Structure 1
Amino acid sequence: MAEASDDGSADEYTFPQLSNGLGSVLENPFEWFFLLEKRTVIAGALLSGFLVFFLSLELLLGMTHEQMVPLFYIFSALIGGNLTLITIVLSINQLVISQHLNSPGGLREEIQGVNEYREAVEETLTEGVAPVTPSDFLEMLLDSAQQSVESADEKSDEVVDDEAAEQLSAFLDDTERNIGHARRVLERSDVGLFNALSVTLKTNYSQEIYRIRDIQTTYGDALSDELDDLLEELIVRIQQLDVARQYFKTLYLQDELAYLSRMLLYVGIPAELTALTMLLVFAASTQPILAPTTLAVVVPVAITLAAAPLAILFAFVLRISVVAQRTAAITPFTTSSQEQERELATTADSDD
């Protein structure tokens, strides 16, 4: 079975390495933009673009700000827009959080469900107790799946049907490469909740299970009973990985929405104060209070600061939506977007 290189050159993609990020810079810039852990970097870059754009307009159009009324309306609109945006996002966040508030009986049922899943995982593992951190738990599941793949690969030499052996070998190679990539990322990074989730976003577990079922159905006579049992064991491992991914997604969304609300409050109050200050300045007189050269700098900076909540919302919601889309379906089903991701990953891998 082909092994992925130690330097990660055979990986489908890697995540960015920041102070506490993952991997090296993404080969796909769109993936870097969508899934970069530091969302404040994306928001800051967007605001920098706003500032450059507005300053360029000042320079190219030669605005003198002799008329204060248009600026008065601009900052009035920013004040109202920010208040509406912050209020709506906070309301949505409170709605999401309220769905997870429960009575003691409900909480006990939820805890019992999670414990039953952990116990089911522990029954299939050599370790006595499963870890409690998402990254360690996921790494344990990946190690278990890797062992199942290696055991099936050892028995694949017994398959006498050439076509069956080729299909099985191709599947095991693809699965081992995906598992190996995820394990290397988890081992070399300071992995948090999102990073543990992110290494599974490109894997289509439904398709992996389908490929196993298809091999078992099409070439069942060519597979030994022991090999068939190993493939069934691998299906169980993959299902456990999918359950873990969905649960980590739930935890991530709760944590991310709470963090987004806090960031909007941190940024929204200074943005509103900036817009209100400019509004009062322009309302004080119909004539320019500041010199034209000063206004040419102050106005673009003030507009950029007032637009900060929009940049924060864009950066965070963009990643939330991408994660939700790529994990929308659970096994045994899949979605068109997940299929497209799988095809893109397969194409990129074949090009390498």
Structure 2
Amino acid sequence: MSESGESASEETSNTMVDRVHGGRPMLWFLVEGNRVLVAALMLAVSYTILVVLGTFGPGSISKLFDPAPIASTFTPTIIGIIMGVTLVLTFNQFVLAEELGPVGDQRERMVGAMEFRRDTEDAVDRTTSPPEPSAFLRGLVEATGNRAAELIDALESDPDLDEAVREDVREYAEGIAADAERVAADLEGKQFGRFEVVKAALEYNYSWKIYIGNRVRNRHEEALPDTIDERLEELLEVLGFFGPAREHFKTLYFRWEIITLSRSLAYLALPALAVSAYMILVFEVGDVAGVIAGFDQGLLFVGLAFAVGVMPFAIFLSYILRVVTVAKWTLAIGPFILRETDRGEDIGWE
């Protein structure tokens, strides 16, 4: 049975948009969208809810003319901004702690990285691997496509092979070759630090490919000639290198994101604090009395000031949402699939 035939669940689809419940809009909100735009969307929704409830919900707009509610709202906002930024910057130091280790630790990291590069170069029959993450991952993906093509050639050159076995292995190899071409094109020219590199790596569902490859191989173990079995083993070997490489670059990207988040909060903290302090020390609702399109101007202004005050929190949520979502999608490494929808009666011990 082919890879597509095995993967009846949408969660094992080759593309992320097909694996995410909610489709393209949810994928954009969770990981693809610019984090500033996502934060702005969350603030806009919060602002709209506040204005609508303040206008049509139970209660009286006259409470705004009492300074106590405004002070009680923006005082915790100031405290939250100071504490939140301090905590994020402290957490940032833990993230960078590994970069500040002694020379022995740094040398061990260097040796491990060089050994992995050499092993990968041997597996893909290359003498030198590229230094850029996108080019490195692209080379691995293209190598799986090449191994799949070699497997197809080996199938075609063996006239004695059982036709059912040939069809099963060919469909598996053709699926990998086609998917490798698509993901390799997505990785071409991508710059690390932007989510596109991690996104393209996530598109390559290597765990499912390893599982199906092992299953196909074991199912036809007695019928596969040595030449075809070796080609299939080489394909699975290269797929096995993709997992650690993706996890390494994903970890580096998480650090990059947290550093970017810390810098963004440093930029936004003082403006948010200034607006919150203004609302407590100077602002009076009577100065903006009036109605615009049926909405009280005081409510609109206070809601806008509140949105500005919690802007650092919205930025924090937007970045953490992407990090934890990617972390959840990649908790397991190798041929392990954690999503419950991937389970079925045909997935088990054989």
Correspondence 1:167-178 to 2 at 5 A: 167-178=168-179
Query: Residue 134 of structure 1 corresponds to which residue in structure 2?
Result: 133
In structure 2, the residue matched to 1:304 is: 307
TM-score (norm 2): 0.82
1:71 aligns with 2:74: no
Matched residue, 2:81: 82
* Mapping of residues 24-63 of structure 1, within 5 Å: 28-60=24-56, 63=61
Distance in 2 of aligned mates of 1:38 and 1:330: 27
Query: What's the % identity of the aligned pairs?
Result: 26
Question: What is the alpha-carbon distance in structure 1 between the residues aligned to residue 25 and residue 169 of structure 2?
Answer: 33
Q: How does 1:1-352 map to 2 (within 5 A)?
A: 12-13=14-15, 28-60=24-56, 63-64=61-62, 65-157=64-156, 158=158, 160-187=161-188, 190-193=190-193, 194-281=195-282, 288=285, 290-293=287-290, 295-332=298-335, 334-337=336-339, 340=341
* Range 169-178 or range 114-123, more displaced: 169-178
- Aligned residue for 2:201, secondary structure, equals coil
Q: Specify the alignment match of 1:18 in structure 2.
A: none
Amino acid paired to 1:336: L
**Residue type at the aligned position of 1:192:** F
Residue ranges of structure 2 left out of the alignment (5+ in a row)? 3-12, 291-296, 344-350
Superposed displacement of residue 274, structure 1: 1.0
Q: Distance in 1 between matches of 2:120 and 2:239?
A: 11
Any idea what SS the aligned residue of 1:81 has? Answer: helix
Cα deviation, 1:305-335, whole Å, max 9, x if unaligned, reads 0110121011100100011111111124x24
**Greater shift in the superposed pair: 90-99 or 229-238:** 90-99
Q: What SS does structure 1 have at the residue aligned with 2:287?
A: coil
CA contact (8 A) 1:13 1:28 kept: no
Q: In 1, are the aligned partners of 2:144 and 2:176 still within 8 Å (CA)?
A: no
Unaligned runs of 5+ in 1: 3-10, 16-25, 344-352
Shift of the alpha carbon at 1:29? 1.7
Tell me, in whole angstroms, the C-alpha distance in 2 between the residues paired with 1:207 and 1:125.
21
CA drift of 1:268 comes to 1.8
Paired with 2:100 and 2:177, the residues of 1 have a C-alpha distance of 40
Secondary structure of residue in 1 paired with 2:65: coil
Q: CA deviation at 1:55?
A: 3.5
Structure 1 contact 281–289 (Cα < 8 Å) conserved: no
Deviation at 1:42, TM superposition (A): 0.6
User: Aligned-pair distance for 1:78?
Assistant: 1.3
Q: Is residue 278–residue 302 contact of structure 1 (8 Å, CA) maintained in 2?
A: yes
**66-75 vs 291-300, which deviates more?**
291-300
Moved beyond 6 Å, runs of 4+? none
Give the TM-score, by structure 1 length.
0.81
Per-residue displacement from partner, 1:53-101 (whole Å, max 9, x unpaired)? Answer: 3343454467242222111101112112222322222222222221443
Relative to 1, partners in 2 of residues 1:288 and 1:316: Cα closer, same or farther, differing over 3 Å?
closer
Rounded to whole Å, the distance in 1 between the matches of 2:248 and 2:47 is 40
Q: Deviations over 1:261-303 (max 9, x none)?
A: 1111111221111111111126xxxx75523235333211110
1:215-261 residue CA offsets vs partner (Å, 9 max, x unmatched): 22221121111111111111111011111101101110111111111
Aligned-pair CA distance for 1:104: 0.9
CA distance in 2, matches of 1:279, 1:143: 60
1:23 aligns to what? none
| Aligned CA-pair RMSD | 2.7
- State the alpha-carbon separation in 2 of the partners of residues 85 and 29 from structure 1: 29
What CA distance in whole angstroms lies between the structure 2 residues aligned with 1:270 and 1:315? 19
- Other structure's SS at 1:128 match: coil
Offset from partner CA, 1:19-70 (integer Å, 9 cap, x none)? xxxxxxx962211211215211111222222333334345446724222211
Query: Is the 2:265–2:312 Cα contact (8 Å) retained in structure 1?
Result: yes
Aligned 8 A contact 2:186 2:200 in 1: yes
Q: Distance in 2 between matches of 1:291 and 1:317?
A: 37
SS in structure 2 of the partner of residue 296 of structure 1: helix
Q: Secondary structure at the match of 1:91?
A: helix
Deviation at 1:200, TM superposition (A): 2.3
Native 8 Å contact 1:33 1:42 kept in 2: yes
**Distance in 2 between residues matched to 1:291 and 1:325, nearest whole Å:** 47
